[in-house]
């Protein structure tokens, strides 16, 4: 069943109106017809099984058949604090993180971040990143569109995660796998979990000390050194596997 997202204001008691690019996609790309069923989400957890009632040039109206979630969201909220990588790696990271159940992604400038962006370029990047998140959410059957938040410094990221249930940071010099397993086992439904991933070259030693002072728990991802675009995916994969019922 094809999946679309709308703003909550487009959802009425018995019907939902789709506008914008989705109209052309449904009419001219998918060539859908009256009476066909689609899944519509409002991006905040509201999910509706619908049947197309009218196909107009600028809008499509669908009758609501069922109202309720499909149970695809993790029981905990995972926040990925991703050190800003070079080239287009961030786009791949966003796509895969959304598929793996991330709740929010925060690009972070760290000491070893090579990329420098002015305000105009940051806004353009965020627009692109959030479009990628929406596309990945549709493809993977998410009930929400994970937000790609504004760029932060490492200090700002630590403050943002200050009230989370638990924060973790993979670090190549931390070798205790038993402690790592214990930390993963402590993560339960209802928690908010911050995942800190460094850019190419990892975190600076002072940043690890700073994170430790804020209660961020170090973990190990094994004997091998993972690339920045792999480390976050590894953590999210472990969490997804542990929490799937």
Domain ranges of the chain: 3-67, 77-243
153-160 mean pLDDT: 97
Provide the pLDDT confidence category of residue 188 given band limits of 50, 70 and 90. very high
Nearest to 77 by CA among 19, 146, 7: 146
pLDDT tens for each residue of 197-220? 999 989 999 999 999 999 999 999
pLDDT averaged over the chain?
Answer: 92
pLDDT, position 227: 94
Neighbours of 94 (CB within 10 A): 25
Name all contacts of 64-72 with Cβ < 8 Å and 24+ positions apart: 64/13, 64/14, 64/15, 64/16, 65/37, 69/45, 69/143, 70/39, 70/141, 70/143, 72/141, 72/142, 72/143
8 Å CB contact between 206 and 111:
yes
pLDDT tens for each residue of 41-60? 887 778 899 999 999 999 99
* % of the chain at pLDDT higher than 90: 74
Tokens 């487009």 map to which residue? 10
Q: Are strands 47-55 and 60-67 parallel, antiparallel or unpaired?
A: antiparallel
pLDDT, position 161: 97
DSSP string for the chain: --EEE--GGGB-SSEEEE-THHHHIIIIIS---TT-EEEEE-SBS-EEEEEEEEE-SS-EEEEEEEES--S-S-SSEEEEEEEPPSTTHHHHHHHHHHHTT-SEEEEEE-TT------HHHHHHHHHHHHHHHHHHHHHHT-SB--EE---EEHHHHHHHTTTSSEEEEE-TT---HHHHHHHHHH--TT-EEEEEE--TT---HHHHHHHHHTTPEEE---SSPPPHHHHHHHHHHHHHHHH--
What's the predicted TM-score (pTM) here? Answer: 0.84
8 Å CB contact between 80 and 102:
yes
8 Å CB contact between 144 and 102:
no
Per the DSSP assignment, residues forming a β-bridge with 40 are 4, 48
Q: Is the pLDDT of residue 130 over 90?
A: yes
Provide the pLDDT confidence category of residue 71 given band limits of 50, 70 and 90. low
**Cα–Cα distance for residue pair 138/82, rounded to 1 Å:** 22
pLDDT, position 92: 97
Q: What CATH number should be reported for the domain whose range is 3-67?
A: 2.40.240.20
**Cα–Cα distance for residue pair 130/43, rounded to 1 Å:** 12
Q: What CATH number should be reported for the domain whose range is 77-243?
A: 3.40.1280.10
Nearest to 192 by CA among 170, 163, 152: 163
Provide the pLDDT confidence category of residue 245 given band limits of 50, 70 and 90. low
Please name the residues in contact with 45: beta carbons below 8 A apart, sequence gap of 6 or more.
69, 73, 143, 144
């Amino acid at each position: 069943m094809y999946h679309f997202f709308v703003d909550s204001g487009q959802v009425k008691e018995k019907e939902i109106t789709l506008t914008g690019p989705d109209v052309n996609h449904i009419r001219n790309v998918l060539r859908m017809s009256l009476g066909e069923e689609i899944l519509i989400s409002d991006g905040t957890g509201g999910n509706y099984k619908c049947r197309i009632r009218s196909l107009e040039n600028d809008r499509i109206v669908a009758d609501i058949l069922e109202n309720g979630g499909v149970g695809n969201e993790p029981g905990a909220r995972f926040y990925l604090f991703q050190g800003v990588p070079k080239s287009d790696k961030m786009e791949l990271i966003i796509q895969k993180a959304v598929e793996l159940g991330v709740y929010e992604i925060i690009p972070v400038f760290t000491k070893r971040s090579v990329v420098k962006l002015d305000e105009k370029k940051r806004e353009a990047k965020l627009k692109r990143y959030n479009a990628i998140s929406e596309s990945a959410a549709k493809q993977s059957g998410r009930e929400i569109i994970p937000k790609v938040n504004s760029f932060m410094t490492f200090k700002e990221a630590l403050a943002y995660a200050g009230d989370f249930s638990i924060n973790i940071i993979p670090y190549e010099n931390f070798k205790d796998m038993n402690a790592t397993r214990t930390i993963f086992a402590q993560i339960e439904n209802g928690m908010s979990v911050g995942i800190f991933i460094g850019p190419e070259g990892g975190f600076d030693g002072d940043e690890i000390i700073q994170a430790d002072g804020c209660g961020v728990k170090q973990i190990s991802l094994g004997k091998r050194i993972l690339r920045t675009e792999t480390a976050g995916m590894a953590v999210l994969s472990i969490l997804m596997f542990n929490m799937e019922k």
